Amino acid sequence: MNKRWLITGTGSGLGRALAEAALARGDTVAAIQRGGDDLPGTTTWRCDVRDTAAVNEAVSATGEIDVLVANAGYGLIGGVEETSDAEWREQFEVNFFSVMSLLRAALPGMRRRRSGHIIAISSVSGLVGWPSLGPYSASKFALEGALETLALEVAPLGIAVTLIEPGGLRTDFSTRSRRQSARIITDYDDTVGQSRRLLAEHAGGESGDPAKAAHAILAVADHPEPPLRLLLGEDALLYTEGKLASQRAEIEAWRKVTLEIGF
């Protein structure tokens, strides 16, 4: 069945690949993007996702939305102490609060129809923390918590929610869409600095294919029982399984203390 999509961040990267894949199979795509060329075959609104009025207009004009994809975002590189309040707030405005505004615009129509699928592009960094990615990771952790809760709230209304958690994808996210903190503290060179250097070295050589990631998202959108979370990439699986094993070991090591606080 032909689906009507609204996708943010279609100017490049995964958003662009997803829009192209959906169009190629005959779906209808509406797009919200700030830069990049218009994708032929789409209805495109050019605006910043933080512009709530413009986003609301795009959602209203799109009409019935079968699949809403919140994809727009960027990554801020910097240690927790290195990054300013203003840098943290801007990271959250784009990666978290703009998504909340988008959802609030689209959900009334989905509730009326008792159908729809909300897909948010999170990250393995929404599950696992690394030095230098504190603000970015925090914005994705917040997205994970909000949408996990939303999934419970909208499931009885026939609406599905999925968090997509890619590892490294070979897009310009690691170059054009990555920003550096204005401040660098030399005491963090072995942690934040090392991570910053590794990210720069691997930029453009990521193992994930955005076109294949797009087709994985199409499969999720078509599934009658889509997952709440979908990891994409061998690196995402490796890091997440490592964290879960470490977390389980820590829970067991401290189980006695955990249980001692009861009356």
**In what helix (H) or strand (E) does residue 163 lie, and over which residues does it extend?**
strand 159-166
Q: Does residue 17 contact residue 210 with C-beta atoms inside 8 Å?
A: yes
Sheet holding 116-121, edge to edge: 43-46, 28-33, 4-8, 67-70, 116-121, 159-166, 229-232
Is pLDDT above 80 for 176?
no
Please, which residues bridge with residue 30 across strands? 6, 43
Nearest to 125 by CA among 167, 85, 186: 167
pLDDT of res. 55: 96
CA distance 132 to 239: 16
Residues contacting 228, CB < 8 A, separation 6+: 148, 151, 161, 162, 163
Query: Going by C-beta distance under 8 Å and a sequence separation of 6 or more, which residues neighbour residue 124?
Result: 165, 166, 167, 231, 233, 235, 236, 239, 240
Is the four-CA dihedral 164, 16, 199, 82 of positive or negative sign? Answer: negative
Which class in CATH covers the domain with range 4-234? alpha beta
Tell me the one-letter amino acid at 17.
A
The pTM score is 0.94
Q: What is the pLDDT of residues 126-174, one digit of tens each?
A: 999 999 999 999 999 999 999 999 999 999 999 999 999 999 888 776 6
Cβ density class 111-135: b for 16+ within 10 Å, e for less: eeeeebbbbbbbbbbbbbebbbbbb
CA–CA separation, 147 and 117 (whole Å): 12
Note the pLDDT of residue 202: 77
Q: Which of the four pLDDT bands, split at 50, 70 and 90, describes residue 206? A: confident
Question: Which pLDDT band, with edges at 50, 70 and 90, does 106 fall under?
Answer: very high
Which residues are identified as catalytic?
Answer: 122, 136, 140
Average pLDDT, the chain: 94
Q: Which residue has the tokens 């929610």?
A: 161
Mean pLDDT, residues 253-261 taken together? 97
**Predicted confidence (pLDDT) at residue 224 exceeds the cutoff of 70:** yes
Contact criterion met (CB below 8 Å) for 117 and 66: yes
